[in-house]
Amino acid sequence: MGNSGHWTEDVTVREIPRTRLIAISWLVFALVLTGVVAWEWKMRSLGLVAGDLDDSKAQWAVERRKIAAGEFDDVVLVGSSRILFDTNLDVFQEVTGRRPIQLALAGTNPRPILTDFANDPAFKSLVIVDVTPDIYFGDWLGIPEFSGVIHYWRDQSPSERFGNEVGVVLSRRLAFLDGDYTLPKLIDQLDVPNRGDIVRPYLSVWKVWETNEDRQTFLWSGIEQNERLRQHARTVWGPFDGAPMDPKAIDRAIQESVEAVKKIRAHGGEVVFIRPPSAGLYYEHEQRAAPRRKTWDRLLRETGAFGIHFEDYPDMQGLDVPEWSHLSRESAKAFTRAYAGVLMKEVPRLRDPDPGKS
């Protein structure tokens, strides 16, 4: 009996294989290193770049915590992918002198986030809300990747926070670390004949964006440069076929917005709505599904908020919308310059050097 004081000692002793473990280790090291270098080269040749940090709930949480800590310039962007891709944070800062916090999420309805700010009495800032009609005026909350994001930034475990930091460090150096180019996604996206009318993974959204520091997001260059990828993206937006949206859902969206705007103003904050450009069939479908008169115009009238619709400003038209829903990188700069300029004229608090104290 050892010091442990056990009468019956069935101590686990693991057998080690009798083989050339050191030679195996060197072989594994050499093959994996070669494989990773080759994979990295292949991914770069497909247009992936180091420094694309891959958007995620964890990245969103980093930005959201800046607001909670008061470490921001009084401007917050919420919305779906359009305001996310179509806003150049540097240009916005250049025009307004303020760097906004980017809280828009691709494929996600911004209303719950707007309501969350409305329910926070400490929130006294300017919120710029992206109105992508088929998302904003519907009941759909968004893609599962970002579900629960409102609570996640508070509930995120220390382990997840640290893991995200390490992931960012690696992503700054390695292009292949991209959630849209993982092995399972590449397999799922094989173009094999499908059964029935099921939406096959081939027709899911492929890589559309690139995210840098501060969640500065652009339409991925691959979409701009590669005709096949651009056509694929257009095909994927196809299911938004222009069927009229449920009027009751539109009523709910507007009522929710009215309440949110009222509460945010009561705290000393402000809300501005923005309708970024779309084009082609997507734009035509939006016109049928959510006509401006029944949605956008009502939203501004009933909330009493200021809004920027791209159709109303000549310098926001004729921009490059490669896959009909998001601006190219250069056009995003032009669009940001244009709408930030309008905001500077129309929203007095942006000209106020310290709006929190005025």
Partner 1 sequence: MVFNSLTFLVFFVVLLVLHHLPFLSWRAKKVNLLIASYLFYAAWNPPFILLLWASTIVDWFIARGIYAARDKTRAVRRSWLVISVAVNIGFIGFFKYGAFLLENWQALMSAFGIVYVPPQWNIVLPVGISFYTFVTMSYTLDVYLGRAKPIPSFLNYALFVTFFPHLVAGPIVRPTQLVPQFDEPKQASRSQLLWGLGLMILGLFEKVVIADGGLSSAADTVFAAEKPVGFWDAWLGTLAFSGQIFCDFAGYSTIAVGAALCLGFGLPDNFRMPYAAIGFSDFWRRWHISLSTWLRDYLYIPLGGNRGTEVRTYVNLMLTMLLGGLWHGARWTFVVWGGLHGHYLAVERWIRDRTGIAGDPVHWFNRLTLVLVTYVLVNITWVFFRAHSFEGASRILAGMVGLAPDAEPVLPTIYMIKVAVLVTGIVATHWWMRDRELERVVSRAPWWITGLAAAAMLFAVIVTQGSGTAFIYFQF
Q: Which stretch binds partner 1 (CB under 8 A): 128-136, 165-173, 214-222, 311-319?
A: 165-173
Cβ distance to partner 1 smaller for residue 202 or 283? 202
Q: Which stretch binds partner 1 (CB under 8 A): 78-86, 98-106, 174-182, 265-273?
A: 174-182
Residue 70 binds partner 1, judged by CB under 8 A: no
| Shortest distance (Å) from residue 177 CB to partner 1 | 6
CB-CB contact of 78 with 127 (8 Å): yes
What is the maximum span of the chain, computed from C-alpha positions, in angstroms? 88
Q: Which stretch binds partner 1 (CB under 8 A): 85-93, 172-180, 215-223, 252-260?
A: 172-180
Q: Which stretch binds partner 1 (CB under 8 A): 14-22, 103-111, 133-141, 294-302?
A: 14-22
Which amino acid would we find at residue 172? Answer: R
Residue 182 binds partner 1, judged by CB under 8 A: yes
Binding mask 189-208 for partner 1 (x = CB under 8 A): -x-xxxxxxxxxxx------
CB-CB contact of 108 with 354 (8 Å): no
Count of residues that interact with partner 1, criterion CB under 8 A: 61
CB-based burial of residue 350 (10 Å sphere; 0-12 exposed, 13-18 middle, 19+ buried)? buried
The one among 69, 71, 184, 228 contacting partner 1 by CB under 8 A: 184
Cβ distance to partner 1 smaller for residue 9 or 227? 9
| Shortest distance (Å) from residue 246 CB to partner 1 | 20
CB-CB contact of 264 with 117 (8 Å): yes
- The closest of 79, 78, 107 to 240, measured between CA atoms, is 107
The one among 100, 148, 157, 314 contacting partner 1 by CB under 8 A: 157
The one among 15, 71, 227, 354 contacting partner 1 by CB under 8 A: 15
Give one DSSP letter per residue of 27-90, joined into a string.
HHHHHHHHHHHHHHHHHHHTT--TT-----HHHHHHHHHHHHTT-S-SEEEE-SHHHHHH--HH
CB-CB contact of 87 with 336 (8 Å): yes
The one among 122, 170, 243, 266 contacting partner 1 by CB under 8 A: 170
107 Cβ contact partners less than 8 Å away, ≥ 6 residues apart: 80, 81, 135, 142, 143, 145, 146, 205
Measured distance CA(93)–CA(74) in Å, rounded: 12
Residue 49 binds partner 1, judged by CB under 8 A: no
Residue 149 binds partner 1, judged by CB under 8 A: no
Residue 45 binds partner 1, judged by CB under 8 A: no
- Going by the DSSP 8-state scheme, the letter that residue 348 receives in this structure is H
Q: Hey, what are 177's tokens?
A: 């670390």
| Shortest distance (Å) from residue 199 CB to partner 1 | 8
Cβ neighbour number for residue 63 with a 10 Å cutoff: 18
Q: Which stretch binds partner 1 (CB under 8 A): 20-28, 227-235, 240-248, 328-336?
A: 20-28
CB-CB contact of 220 with 75 (8 Å): no
- The closest of 234, 331, 223 to 277, measured between CA atoms, is 331
| Shortest distance (Å) from residue 106 CB to partner 1 | 16
| Shortest distance (Å) from residue 180 CB to partner 1 | 10
Q: Hey, what's the torsion of the CAs at 102, 335, 329, 211, to 10 degrees?
A: 0
Q: Within its chain, how far is the Cα of 163 from the centroid?
A: 20
Cβ distance to partner 1 smaller for residue 69 or 187? 187
- Going by the DSSP 8-state scheme, the letter that residue 243 receives in this structure is P
Residue 18 binds partner 1, judged by CB under 8 A: yes
Contact residues for partner 1, defined by CB under 8 A: 2-25, 27-28, 31-32, 35-36, 39, 157-160, 162-163, 166-167, 170, 176-179, 182-184, 187-188, 190, 192-202
